[in-house]
């Protein structure tokens, strides 16, 4: 399992990617980070025409049930795979 320090180091490293990732990669990074740092998504799904907020909510909701430890490890592994 990734430690919290490794998780935060991976979050900092993700900002140093050589090229901007595509939207699906960004959503996966976001969802794993949120699941690893906060746990399951809470609150209502955004509505209206805020498509970015809806996509982010749905990506995070897709991680529902995954433990924070598992999400942190997957996040660290995923960030490392992008380099």
Nearest by Cα to 67 from 5, 24, 7, 11: 7
Provide the residue ranges of all domains of the chain, joining segments of one domain with +.
4-81
pTM for the complete prediction?
0.94
Rg over alpha carbons for the chain, rounded to the nearest Å, is: 13
Cβ(78)–Cβ(28) under 8 Å?
yes
Q: Read off the tokens for 20.
A: 């901007």
Predicted pLDDT at 66: 98
pLDDT tens for residues 27-82? 999 999 999 999 999 999 998 899 999 999 999 999 999 999 999 999 999 999 99
CATH topology of domain 4-81: Acyl-CoA Binding Protein (1.20.80)
């Amino acid at each position: 399992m990734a430690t919290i320090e490794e998780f935060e180091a991976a979050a900092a490293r993700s900002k140093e990617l050589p090229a901007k990732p595509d939207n699906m990669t960004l959503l996966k990074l976001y969802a794993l980070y949120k699941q690893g740092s906060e746990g399951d998504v809470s609150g209502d799904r955004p509505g209206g025409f805020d498509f970015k907020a809806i996509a982010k909510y749905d990506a995070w909701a897709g991680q529902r049930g995954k433990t924070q430890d598992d999400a942190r490890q997957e996040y660290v592994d995923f960030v490392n795979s992008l380099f």
